[in-house]
Amino acid sequence: MANPKSLLPTLPSPVPPIDAIAIDLDGTLLGPDGRVSQPNIDAVARARDAGVAVLICTGRGLAESRHALAAIEQLDPVVVAGGSIVADPSTAATLHRATIEADLVRAATDIFHAERAPALVLKDPHGLDYDYLVLEGSDRHPLDPITRWWFDEHNLRVRTAEHAHHDEHPEHTVRVGMCAVGQVSARAAEAVTRALGDAVVMHDFAAVHPQHHAAEIVHILELFSPHATKWGGITWICQQRNLDPARVAAIGDEINDLTMIEAAGLSVAMGNAKLRIKQAAQYHTATNADHGVAQAINNILTGVWTPRSAPASSLP
């Protein structure tokens, strides 16, 4: 483990090379225990003190992100649900959203039901009294234990119905997904690709599990509107705040971070990141077990790492 004291900057740059840092949660800001470490909390505070906006960008919904946002006292807008929602963490108000079309949700739900898995429909909860609609199908497909644990862990408000045409608020749907073991998830992903092609953005990756989980790893397969990406959410915030996207840094680890890693002016892959993320990133930092975010913020604020577009004369 890295010594947290070694992560403290000694010569902070008076003018940071970036105006905002976009930080993923799971596998990035959050450690393996699902919490934000003190070195990461301190680093986020140093970034704000230097005048840098901190933009949390996560695949989680807002309700699922509450404990992490509270740990860092987040006030700036957050990009949640894989980029489909930009929300105000203080009021829970939705500032911007990209919904997925009802016919795509119906088609995906049929594919998931064919695999004997319920469809997990994530809602923009602003104005609603629930977070998820679980479409069980006529055969009442049961929730995977990991999904049930996740719902309970975050006190999520859940409704159930049989099929997509029973959805009373289709205009609030930002994501549809399923949770299953990797083989089943991969099979469903192939069916989605054949049926829907580029009409949706699809991510398939290992779900967050409880600590000391000993059973088979479960995957989450998620479908979004093509307009719903983390970088899309970031650029919306940049437009609202008159920020230059070339002066945004991004730190991530998973495939749903790829758009912001590829497009940000300064990009950082976690030490535990997927290979594709490491290949796309400009810089690499330590793992989430070793306070990689704190190390990255330190290198950015001290000018050790600079944006791709930074002229040579600006280097310290």
Of 207, 224, 241, the one marking the end of a domain is: 224
Verify that 191 and 298 share a domain, yes or no. Answer: no
In terms of domains, do 181 and 238 share one?
no
146: domain range? Answer: 102-224
Task: Please indicate, yes or no, whether residues 234 and 87 belong to a single structural domain of this protein.
Answer: yes
Instruction: Let me know whether 84 and 58 are in one domain.
Output: yes
pLDDT at res. 8:
55
pLDDT at 7: 59
Q: 278 and 243 in one domain?
A: yes
- Cβ atoms of 209 and 146 closer than 8 Å: yes
pTM for this model (two decimals): 0.89
The predicted structure's pLDDT at residue 14: 54
Task: Choose the final residue of a domain: 224, 247, 270.
Answer: 224
> Which among 180, 209, 224 is the end of a domain?
224
Pair (268, 177) in one structural domain: no
Same domain for 59 and 89? yes
In this prediction, residue 6 carries a pLDDT of 52
Whether residue 45 is found in the same domain as residue 85: yes
Do 205 and 250 sit in the same domain of this protein?
A: no
CATH number at residue 310: 3.40.50.1000
Residues 213 and 266 in one domain: no
pLDDT for 4 equals 55
Say whether both 139 and 217 belong to one domain.
yes
Strand order across the beta sheet in which 85-87 lies: 78-80, 85-87, 94-97
Question: Can you give the pLDDT at residue 309?
Answer: 62
How many structural domains comprise the chain?
2
- The CATH number given to whatever domain includes residue 124 is 3.30.1240.10
pLDDT of residue 152: 94
Query: With the C-alpha atoms ordered 75, 233, 33, 219, is the resulting torsion angle positive or negative?
Result: positive
Same domain, 117 and 196: yes
Give me the pLDDT at residue 315, please: 33
The one-digit pLDDT tens for each residue of the chain (316 residues) are: 555 555 555 544 457 889 999 999 999 999 999 999 999 999 999 999 999 999 999 999 999 999 999 999 999 999 999 999 999 999 999 999 999 999 999 999 999 999 999 999 999 999 999 999 999 999 999 999 999 999 999 999 999 999 999 999 999 999 999 999 989 999 999 999 999 999 999 999 887 777 666 677 889 999 999 999 999 999 999 999 999 999 999 999 999 999 999 999 999 999 999 999 999 999 999 999 999 999 999 999 999 999 986 443 333 3
